[in-house]
């Protein structure tokens, strides 16, 4: 993958020394020559001291560790002035990880393609930080904001179930459907319609979605408003997505949906 053009200093935190050494080897040998592992820690107390002393750009952080897990650690050291990539053997933490604004969430055993995707996201975040910090010398705030917004809107999200990992652009998601303690994401990739079922609630996932694109139309559905083709109003309201899906709109969300669509130029009756 292309280099970052600028060194990114990384700290690895995992209670297993072998896991630290393995991730360090993969990052430095197979991912990006500009990723510099400046230290490793096997517990959160050690990690806290290294973070204070070394000021890493990013921390690769195992979630389950003795005495204190990663979430409690990050809450304790708040505010966090480094990027976080979670690395764990447990899949049930994905939603909480993203709610903490992590760059990415990687499952063990580590997949090199998945790690490359995470580093790609990290590089984009570092570029954005650099853009914002340097902007006041040569660009107006409006120019910087426009570039930052366009970069954020291009972000993709990683969707995982037990057997599949999909990296999807937000704009290619059609809708998300609640299914009990799971939810289904319907999206387009490689010109094909796909879906993936993930563990969690629709409310948890709603917080991860760009608010300018997505709208909750029903207790069981969130839609991407880019793909709205028609609004149906008869005995009950429905929205047609991409001429392929007809989804219910709850009575109390009908008027706010129309207002949102019109204000954002997605749809006019």
> How is the chain split into domains, by residue range?
8-127, 156-263
Residue 247: how many other CB atoms lie within 10 Å: 18
Return the pLDDT at 126: 80
Residue 14 has pLDDT above 70, yes or no: yes
Return the pLDDT at 137: 46
What distance in Å separates the CA atoms of residue 134 and residue 147, rounded to the nearest whole number?
A: 13
Architecture in CATH of 8-127: 3-Layer(aba) Sandwich (3.40)
What distance in Å separates the CA atoms of residue 196 and residue 166, rounded to the nearest whole number?
A: 8
Return the pLDDT at 67: 87
| CATH number of this structure's domain 156-263 | 2.40.50.1020
Return the pLDDT at 102: 78
Q: Which residue has the tokens 């139309």?
A: 217
User: Encoding tokens for residue 54?
Assistant: 């070394």
Return the pLDDT at 152: 43
What are the backbone dihedrals phi and psi of residue 164, each rounded to the nearest 5 degrees, phi first?
Answer: -130, 140
For the segment 230-255, the average pLDDT, to the nearest whole number, is 91
- Which of 26, 192, 214 is closest to 118 using CA atoms? 26
Mean of pLDDT over the chain? 83
Range name among 106-120, 195-209, 239-253 with the lowest pLDDT average: 195-209
- Between 2 and 43, the more confident residue is 43
Same fold, 8-127 and 156-263: no
Residue 200 has pLDDT above 80, yes or no: no
Q: Reading across the β-sheet that carries 104-107, which strands appear in turn?
A: 35-41, 8-13, 58-62, 83-88, 104-107
pLDDT band at 155 (very low <50, low <70, confident <90, very high): low
The pTM assigned to this predicted structure is 0.58
What distance in Å separates the CA atoms of residue 259 and residue 248, rounded to the nearest whole number?
A: 17
């Amino acid at each position: 993958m292309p280099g970052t053009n600028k060194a990114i200093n990384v700290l690895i935190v995992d209670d297993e020394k072998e896991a630290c050494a393995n991730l360090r080897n993969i990052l430095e040998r197979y991912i990006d020559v500009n990723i510099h592992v400046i230290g490793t820690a096997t517990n959160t107390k050690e990690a806290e001291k290294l973070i204070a002393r070394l000021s890493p750009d990013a921390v690769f952080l195992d979630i389950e560790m003795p005495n204190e897990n990663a979430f409690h650690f990050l809450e304790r050291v708040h505010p966090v002035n480094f990027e976080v990539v979670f690395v764990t053997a447990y899949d049930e933490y994905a939603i909480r990880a993203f709610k903490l604004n992590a760059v990415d969430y990687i499952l063990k055993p580590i997949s090199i393609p998945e790690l490359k995707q995470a580093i790609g996201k990290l590089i984009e975040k570092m570029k954005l930080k650099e853009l914002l910090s340097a902007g006041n010398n040569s660009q107006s705030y409006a120019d910087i904001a426009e570039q930052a917004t366009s970069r954020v809107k291009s972000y993709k999200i990683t969707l995982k179930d037990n057997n599949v990992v999909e990296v999807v652009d937000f704009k290619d998601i059609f809708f998300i459907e609640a299914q009990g303690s799971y939810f289904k994401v319907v999206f387009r990739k490689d010109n094909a319609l796909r879906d993936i079922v993930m563990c969690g609630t629709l409310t948890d996932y709603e917080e991860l979605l760009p608010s300018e694109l997505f709208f909750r139309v029903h207790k069981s559905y969130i839609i991407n408003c880019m793909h709205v083709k028609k609004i149906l109003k008869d005995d009950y309201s429905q929205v047609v997505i991409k001429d392929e899906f007809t989804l219910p709109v709850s009575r109390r969300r009908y008027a706010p949906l129309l207002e949102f669509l019109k204000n954002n130029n997605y749809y006019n009756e």
